[in-house]
């Protein structure tokens, strides 16, 4: 698959060189990531005023399809998806790369093959370098962390918050924070607690509620500090759900 950026059409002449350099830096950063749940980048280049990134071709569809009320996945499937994504983020963060725009549209899923891949590290930054700036808001508003809205320097815990938003949406078909205008949305994300997802989907088990609550904590210090911690809790919860389902089948049989 080829992702392109038309420099002349998208940017003024005095911006093009800077954008091109940034594009290549970010492609190089993403290209250093080799994980089963992160899209593989093969090459990046420029031809005829068109910058491009060559990446692996993915089958299936993005996770937005599974955020609709009429096409929600079983909670156990969402737990397994969350576990794999938390592990992928832990790997990226260990390489000093933050995605900054984790959302359903940036995760490709093929239920037939089980393939699951985070895509579009296009606005990722290498946090160990001076390229990371404070005061620069990047991301999709509904999935953004409180610190992204406040313009603070972000770290991996911001991606964890966004993953929490996405898992909430996959489990309920609703966003945890919604408003008709950016100012109201910012206020909700920064100051208002998310609704109890069990009010929307009673099938969500209590351990999973606790994981969502921790991932969506307003204060970074109260959130999961590492993706690996979230991954472990999701794995344990998945095992409990498996045991409950097995016990229920045995009782019915």
Residues with Cβ within 8 Å of residue 43, at least 6 apart in sequence:
53, 54
Closest C-alpha to 209, from 189, 179, 188, 237: 237
Place of tokens 């078909």: 173
The count of other CB atoms within 10 Å of the CB of residue 173 is 16
* Catalytic residue from among 12, 62, 101, 159: 101
Place of tokens 């999973």: 208
Is 180 considered catalytic here?
no
Burial class (CB in 10 A: 0-12, 13-18, 19+), 134: exposed
Task: State which H helix or E strand residue 80 sits in.
Answer: helix 75-94
What tokens does 9 get? 């059409």
Provide the H-helix boundaries in 12-150.
13-31, 75-94, 146-149
Question: Contact 167/234 with Cβ under 8 angstroms?
Answer: no
The set of catalytic residues is 101
């Amino acid at each position: 698959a080829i992702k392109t950026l038309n420099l002349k059409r998208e940017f003024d002449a005095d911006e093009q060189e800077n954008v091109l350099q940034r594009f290549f830096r970010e492609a190089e950063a993403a290209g250093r990531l080799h994980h089963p749940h992160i899209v593989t980048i093969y090459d990046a280049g420029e031809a005829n005023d068109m910058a491009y990134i060559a990446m692996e071709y993915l089958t299936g569809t993005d996770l937005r399809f599974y955020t609709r009320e009429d096409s929600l996945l079983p909670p156990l499937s969402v737990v397994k998806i969350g576990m794999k994504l938390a592990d992928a983020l832990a790997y990226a963060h260990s390489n000093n790369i933050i995605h900054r725009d984790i959302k359903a549209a940036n995760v490709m899923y093929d239920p037939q093959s089980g393939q699951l891949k985070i895509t579009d590290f296009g606005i990722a930054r290498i946090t160990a370098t001076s390229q990371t700036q404070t005061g620069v808001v990047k991301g999709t508003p509904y999935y953004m962390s409180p610190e992204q809205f406040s313009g603070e320097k972000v770290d991996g815990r911001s991606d964890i918050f966004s993953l929490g938003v996405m898992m909430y949406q996959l489990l309920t078909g609703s966003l945890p924070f919604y408003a008709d205008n950016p100012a109201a949305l910012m206020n909700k994300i920064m100051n208002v607690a998310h609704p109890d997802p069990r009010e929307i989907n009673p099938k969500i088990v209590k351990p999973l509620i606790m994981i969502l609550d921790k991932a969506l904590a307003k204060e970074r210090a109260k959130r999961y500090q590492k993706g690996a911690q979230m991954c472990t809790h999701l794995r344990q919860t998945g095992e409990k759900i498996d045991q409950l389902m097995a016990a229920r089948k045995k009782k019915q049989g």
